[in-house]
Amino acid sequence: MTLVQILLVLVILAIWAWLITSWRLRNWRAVTVAVIGTIAILAGGMLPAPARALAQGCAFLVTLWIFVIRPEMVGVMAPEEYDYVDAHVKILRRIGSRKHSKRRPDPDDSLHAFESDVHAMEALRAPPAWSGLHSDTVRELERRLILMKSRTLRSPEDVKPLDDRWQEVGQLFRDTLKERAGFWTGWPHPFRQPRA
């Protein structure tokens, strides 16, 4: 295998790795672009020497441009929804990283950081499709904040209903994301659905 062939394989693998690792691109539109890009790169390899590199490079750059710079071209949600989900997840990851940290932070610092994250979550502007999830998330975070501020120790039985509600909110997030950004979202349906 020549260096050019190895580079070609790496380019195609990079396209598919980007597609698989990005939650924004896991849909039929992005897969279609990746398939077309892969075919164009491979087909470009059949051209004579000077045109081969140009065709393959252009196919790769166009595919990369769509995935990196203009992902809304293959997106199935509005850009505001993607931005909301990114901000929502970022806040929850900050909370989770502090909760599961190996070192024990100062309780006051932990409380202030959690309160700051709750306020950041409240400040997010949820698109209409995400408003129910947003209000449920804020409500559950505020419940936890009130418990943290009370500084009373809770038994596992006291905390279990909170954890159960938090699991429900997490499931609602996953369900909403699957509904709004699932693989087949926006797939054209050739037949009209009968009206009820």
Rounded to whole angstroms, how far apart are CA atoms 81 and 77? 6
Rounded to whole angstroms, how far apart are CA atoms 25 and 21? 8
pTM: 0.79
Task: Say which residues have a Cβ less than 8 Å from residue 121's Cβ, sequence separation at least 6.
Answer: 88, 91, 134, 137, 138, 141
Quote the tokens at residue 184: 């087949």
Task: Say which residues have a Cβ less than 8 Å from residue 129's Cβ, sequence separation at least 6.
Answer: 81, 176, 180
Q: What is the pLDDT along the chain (196 residues), one digit of tens a residue?
A: 688 788 888 989 988 998 899 888 989 999 999 999 999 999 998 999 889 989 998 999 999 899 989 988 999 999 999 999 999 999 999 998 887 777 777 778 888 999 999 999 999 999 999 999 999 999 999 998 998 888 776 777 877 888 899 999 999 999 999 999 989 888 875 555 555 4
Number of Cβ within a 10 Å radius of residue 76: 21
Task: Say which residues have a Cβ less than 8 Å from residue 24's Cβ, sequence separation at least 6.
Answer: 71, 75, 82, 181
